[in-house]
Amino acid sequence: MKLINWTPRPVSLFDDMDKMVKTIFHNSQYSPMISEDWVPAVDIKEDDTSFVLSADIPGLKKSDIDLFVENNILKISGNRDYNNENDNSEYHYQERIHGSFHRSFKLPISVVEENISATFRNGILTVVLPKNEEAQPKQRTIKIK
C-alpha cells in the first residue's frame, strides 16, 4: 500500500519563463538564490512491519518541531529563525532558507496511529509508523506428507 500518491506536474512553458525573468533581475554572480518557501526533504520507506519517514530539518532543536496526527493525516511543521548576530554585517551570498515550514502526509488505514514514534537526532527527524497486524505479511509452514 502506498503512503502517498505522487502525481507528476507537467512541464510548463511558464516554468522556463519564470527562470528567465529571475535570471534577468538577479544577474549578479553573487546574488542570493532565495526561495520564498522552505520545504524539508523527506524520504519514506516501507518494510513488513512499518513505514519510516525521515525528514532533513537542520538547524532546529527538537522543541522547534511540531508533529501530530489529525484526521488520519501526519503533520510536521516548524520554524527556523533568521539568525543575524551582528547587525553591522552584510551578506554577500545567502542560500540557507529561514522561516516556517509545513508538511502533511495522508496515512494509510494500515497504520496504527497510537503506536507512532519519532526521534530527532543530528538534524534528521525519523517517524516510525507501525502497521497493524492484518497488514503485515503472514507466513505459515506447511508440513509436507
| DSSP for 93-139, written as a single string | ------EEEEEEEEPPTTB-GGG-EEEEETTEEEEEEEBPGGGS---
Nearest to 124 by CA among 65, 36, 45: 65
For residues 35-62, average pLDDT = 88
Q: Answer whether residue 93 is part of any domain.
A: no
pTM: 0.67
CB 40 within 8 A of CB 105: no
pLDDT over threshold 90, residue 76: yes
Q: Read off the pLDDT band of 32 (50, 70, 90).
A: very low
Q: Answer whether residue 91 is part of any domain.
A: no
Q: Answer whether residue 109 is part of any domain.
A: yes
In the numeric block, which cell numbers belong to residue 78?
516548524
The proportion of the chain whose per-residue pLDDT surpasses 90, expressed as a percent, equals 40
pLDDT over threshold 80, residue 65: yes
pLDDT over threshold 50, residue 129: yes
Q: Answer whether residue 59 is part of any domain.
A: yes
Q: Answer whether residue 32 is part of any domain.
A: no
The CATH number given to whatever domain includes residue 55 is 2.60.40.790
For residue 75, the enclosing domain spans 40-81+98-135
Q: Read off the pLDDT band of 13 (50, 70, 90).
A: low
- CA distance linking residue 65 with residue 63, whole number of Å: 6
Q: Answer whether residue 125 is part of any domain.
A: yes
Q: Answer whether residue 74 is part of any domain.
A: yes
Number of domains in the chain: 1
DSSP 50-100: EEEEEEE-TT--GGGEEEEEETTEEEEEEEE----S-TT---S------EE
Q: Answer whether residue 142 is part of any domain.
A: no
